[in-house]
Amino acid sequence: MKFPQKHIAILGSTGSIGTQALDVVAAHPESFTVEILTAQNNAELLIEQAAAFRPNVVVIANESLYDKVFDALDPLGIQVYAGAKAIADVVQMDSIDTVLTSMVGYSGLIPTVKAIEAGKQIALANKETLVVAGELVTALAREKGVNIYPVDSEHSAIFQCLVGEFHNPIEKILLTASGGPFRGKTRDELLHVTKAQALKHPNWSMGAKITIDSASLMNKGLEVIEAKWLFGLEASQIEVVVHPQSIIHSMVQFEDGSIKAQMGLPDMRLPIQFALTYPHRLKADFPRFNFAQYPSLTFEQPDLKTFRNLQFAFDALERGGNMACIVNAANEVAVAAFLQDKVGFLQMSDLIETCMNTVAFIQQPTLDDYIETDTETRRVAESLMSKFENLKI
Ligand SMILES: NC(=O)C1=CN([C@@H]2O[C@H](COP(=O)(O)OP(=O)(O)OC[C@H]3O[C@@H](n4cnc5c(N)ncnc54)[C@H](OP(=O)(O)O)[C@@H]3O)[C@@H](O)[C@H]2O)C=CC1
Ligand SMILES: CC(=O)[C@@H](O)[C@H](O)COP(=O)(O)O
Ligand SMILES: [Mn+2]
């Protein structure tokens, strides 16, 4: 079977996933045409990428940067738009068949919904979309006959284990977690950790938000929720296993007890490429794993009492409705505040817990309810923050 050329939009092309996606494209120019690139603030890199990959369209979300991007790219015949609404509009263009959602945070939700409504295939890096509105988004994808291919390394691993097994029920998945830079630390030791320490992930180089999420195990919590919606699982079928080396990217256990694992060196280009090329595997020169260099692969249980965010994610799954949307919005405010030295590391969890107990719960949310919940949670979280700032340890 020949791999058909894909016409892609890369949302968040200037980020960690976006730039690695462009590396994948550059290595296979015959397989991909980049039609659309988008970014938030990094106009210089967006212009540079557009000059190299010659998309038809670019969008800069920050409207104040429109003139700068337009002046650079209009002479190249590239259409330039600005604003969040423009991102949600361009993903519906006829010229594309696939959208890689690699922007960070809640900003991914509406463009992903619009792309699915237009029947585009989704390569999903933006896990927050499924955390906020997984039930709605996956139902819409089924209705429109759209596939959502996971980019997140763990979910790609699970997907790769399931190829050839789609008719076999999953008994459970084993979602691996590195444990982050603070694995093994006590709450007392976490009281005074700095953002510089939290930004040092042991195995992966990623954007700031997901790196802080990894340090607090919120990333694993978001991934538990992401896995539920991608693979149609109950919370009881999702087990988190700490695996500090990040070589086994996750595992699936079937009903006969067999466990399949997907392994490799930590390198996001592989899951990005597989999400864009499934069911094909394109030849790639990513560095190969060598067992002799890893004589010991180790496993341990997560510490949910110290890293409370992971427990909150399981609680949110049990509550259902808009609870995961509340957790996500509170976490986005908490992480931004931690990165600005406004709250301490452990206070991020306190902020999320208070929002979970404060913001109105809705059992059957509509898209408008999710949007309202996100806005309301941010309002509550910001107002709580002023109190937390005074208490900062
Ligand atoms: N990095 C990784 O290895 C992995 C990432 N993911 C997920 O992929 C997503 C992207 O992560 P990552 O690449 O690390 O993030 P980065 O912060 O590196 O990049 C984010 C991208 O999104 C753009 N962006 C930021 N805010 C907005 C906004 N409000 N509207 C539109 N665009 C915006 C940024 O533009 P600008 O540069 O102009 O600010 C940038 O292009 C996240 O959801 C993350 O959880 C999942 C697995 C692994
Ligand atoms: C590369 C990737 O998928 C990240 O989500 C990574 O998994 C973060 O690692 P931990 O959250 O396990 O520390
Ligand atoms: Mn991951």
Q: Which residue's structure tokens are 């694995």? A: 183
How confident is the model at residue 391, as a pLDDT? 59
Please answer whether residues 207 and 15 qualify as being in contact, where contact means their C-beta atoms are separated by less than 8 angstroms.
yes
**Nearest Cα to Cα of residue 206 among 197, 214, 216:** 214
- Ligand 1 lined by 109 (C-beta under 6 Å): no
Report which of residues 1 and 243 the model is more confident about.
243
How confident is the model at residue 346, as a pLDDT? 98
Write the burial class of residue 120 (CB in 10 Å: 0-12 exposed, 13-18 middle, 19+ buried): buried
Please answer whether residues 114 and 130 qualify as being in contact, where contact means their C-beta atoms are separated by less than 8 angstroms.
no
How confident is the model at residue 387, as a pLDDT? 79
Residue whose Cα lies nearest atom 12 of ligand 2: it is 177
How confident is the model at residue 312, as a pLDDT? 98
Domain locations along the chain: 6-150, 152-265+274-309, 320-393
Q: Where are the alpha helices (DSSP H) in 232-307?
A: 269-277
Q: Do domains 6-150 and 320-393 have the same CATH topology?
A: no
CATH number of the structural domain 6-150:
3.40.50.720
pLDDT, averaged across the chain:
97
Give tens-digit pLDDT for 321-354: 999 999 999 999 999 999 999 999 999 999 999 9
| CA 342 / ligand 1 centre spacing (Å) | 22
Residue whose Cα lies nearest atom 8 of ligand 2: it is 214
How confident is the model at residue 266, as a pLDDT? 98
How large a percentage of the chain has pLDDT more than 90?
A: 97
Fold of 320-393: Rna Polymerase Sigma Factor; Chain: A (1.10.1740)
> Residue 179 pLDDT more than 90?
yes
- Ligand 1 lined by 204 (C-beta under 6 Å): yes
Q: Which two tokens stand for residue 391?
A: 């208490």
> Residue 390 pLDDT more than 70?
no
Give tens-digit pLDDT for 299-312: 999 999 999 999 99
Residue whose Cα lies nearest atom 2 of ligand 2: it is 153
- Ligand 1 lined by 201 (C-beta under 6 Å): no
Predicted complex ipTM: 0.99
Give tens-digit pLDDT for 67-76: 999 999 999 9
